[in-house]
Amino acid sequence: MSTKKSIQEEVEKTLNSLEGIQRASANPYLFTLIKARLESEERGFWSRALTYLSRPSVAVPAIVLTILINTAIFFELKSDKVPPPQDEEQAFAREYNLSDTTIYESTIEPE
Amino acid sequence: MVYNTALGILQNAEDAEDVTQEVFVQVFESIKTFKAESKLSTWLYRITVSKALDHLRRKKRKKRFAYIQSLFGAGGETIIEKPDFNHPGVALDNKERSAMLFRAIDRLPENQKIAFTLHKVEGLSYQEISDVMRTSVSSVESLMHRAKNNLKKLLQDHYQSKE
């Protein structure tokens, strides 16, 4: 019984141990750290944008995405089966020997 | 005010300093959105409590992940038990008891921890706590009642185990 009573007393004393507690004061350098951090937050838009883009979590996916888009476009162009019109013209000219005209081959007869 | 509140919730000076910095950066960024519907101090307390809780949850997640890693023999850092916290503002003759009390406070549910810390460490009234926590005074009274009961139970278990 006395043990129980003494435990109750101890519990009460412990619960009241924060009576009269004073506010803790921070490290004096904390203010300097906060000031430096706020000043860095004040930098201009482009500076912040570059800082953001240079983060690995942003830069790496951006590079991967660029490579993927370039690869997709490359394969898209390669798989295009219709030759461009210029190639058709050159093929026609070659077939009928119209491609090369030199001064020796041209036979313009004076009127 | 900010540092003392963070210290009471986090029970670690370095963590409290980190959170204090985050609070002031947040205030700097969002001061324009402050509509003066509540007092500036209330707003500051809200941000501090929110940042402190975020910090606590991040730490718990890391601890849980480290524990899971250790189960699979991933050989991470040894989980060291938190040392007793001594609040610098507590009188010398109450240091040991207050360290025990803070250990018990650390085991309370979040809302009870916040209400108890704001009342006992920061000295806020129930009305002020209800403004910070955006709840009613009766809810704060209920939280304090449950916090005290839980603390009594934890401390009783501790003292009984010592017998």
Q: Render pLDDT for A68-95 as a digit per residue (tens, 0 to 9).
A: 999 999 988 877 655 555 677 777 777 7
One-letter amino acid for residue B79 of the chain: I
Q: Hey, are the CB atoms on B21 and A37 less than 8 Å from each other?
A: yes
Residue with more model confidence, A56 or A47: A56
Give the gap in angstroms from C-alpha B120 to the nearest C-alpha of chain A. Answer: 7
Q: Hey, are the CB atoms on B101 and A22 less than 8 Å from each other?
A: no
* A12 neighbors B159 (Cβ within 8 angstroms): no
Please give the DSSP secondary-structure letter assigned to residue B11: -
- Joined tokens for residue A82: 């219709």
Residue with more model confidence, B132 or A28: B132
Long-range CB contacts (within 8 A, 24+) of B27-36: B28/A38, B28/A41, B29/A41
**Would the pLDDT of A7 be above 60?**
yes
Mind listing the pLDDT tens digit for each residue in B52-100? 999 988 888 877 777 666 666 655 555 555 667 778 777 778 888 888 8
pLDDT at B137: 93
Contacts B100 to A, Cβ<8 Å: 14, 17
Per-domain boundaries in chain A: 38-99
**Beta-carbon contacts of residue B72 (< 8 Å; ≥ 6 apart):** none
At residue A34 the predicted structure's pLDDT band, cuts being 50, 70 and 90, is confident
Give the Å distances, CA to CA, from B110 to B9, B28, B124, B144: 9, 27, 17, 12
- Joined tokens for residue B6: 């963070």
- The Cα–Cα gap between A97 and A94 comes to 5
At residue B49 the predicted structure's pLDDT band, cuts being 50, 70 and 90, is very high
Q: Does B156 touch chain A (CB under 8 A)?
A: yes
- The Cα–Cα gap between B137 and B140 comes to 5
Q: Which of A5, A16, A17, A29 to mutate to test the interface with B (most CBs of B within 10 A)?
A: A17
Give the gap in angstroms from C-alpha B3 to the nearest C-alpha of chain A. Answer: 6
Query: Mean pLDDT highest for which of A95-104, B2-11, B33-42, B64-73?
Result: B2-11
Contacts B25 to A, Cβ<8 Å: 34, 37-38, 41
Q: Which residue is closest to B1 within chain A, CA to CA?
A: A23
Query: Domains in chain B, please, with CATH?
Result: 2-162 (1.10.10.10)
**Would the pLDDT of B150 be above 90?**
yes
Q: What is chain A's mean pLDDT, rounded?
A: 78
pLDDT at A106: 57
Q: Which residue is closest to B123 within chain A, CA to CA?
A: A21
Q: Hey, are the CB atoms on A21 and B17 less than 8 Å from each other?
A: no
Q: Does B25 touch chain A (CB under 8 A)?
A: yes
At residue B136 the predicted structure's pLDDT band, cuts being 50, 70 and 90, is very high
Q: Hey, are the CB atoms on B3 and A17 less than 8 Å from each other?
A: no
Give the gap in angstroms from C-alpha B116 to the nearest C-alpha of chain A. Answer: 11
Q: Which of A10, A14, A48 to mutate to test the interface with B (most CBs of B within 10 A)?
A: A14
Give kind and range of the element (H or E) at residue B38.
none
**Would the pLDDT of B119 be above 60?**
yes
Percent of chain A with pLDDT over 70: 74
Neighbouring C-alpha atoms within 13 Å toward the C-beta of A50: 4
- Which residue in B88, B101, B160 is closest to A17 by CB distance? B101
Give the gap in angstroms from C-alpha B89 to the nearest C-alpha of chain A. Answer: 4
Which of B98, B136, B95 lies closest to B115, judged by CA? B136
At residue B45 the predicted structure's pLDDT band, cuts being 50, 70 and 90, is very high
Give kind and range of the element (H or E) at residue B23.
helix B13-30
pTM to 2 decimal places? 0.67
Query: Mean pLDDT highest for which of A30-39, A81-90, A99-108, B20-29?
Result: B20-29
- The answer to whether the complex's ipTM is over 0.85 is no
Q: Does B162 touch chain A (CB under 8 A)?
A: no
Alpha helices in chain B (DSSP H): 2-10, 13-30, 40-71, 95-105, 110-120, 126-133, 137-162
- The Cα–Cα gap between B6 and B45 comes to 9
Long-range CB contacts (within 8 A, 24+) of B99-107: B100/A14, B100/A17, B100/B155, B100/B158, B101/A14, B101/A15, B101/A17, B101/A18, B101/B151, B101/B155, B102/B11, B104/B150, B104/B151, B104/B154, B104/B155, B104/B158, B105/B11, B105/B151, B106/B11, B106/B82, B107/B150, B107/B154
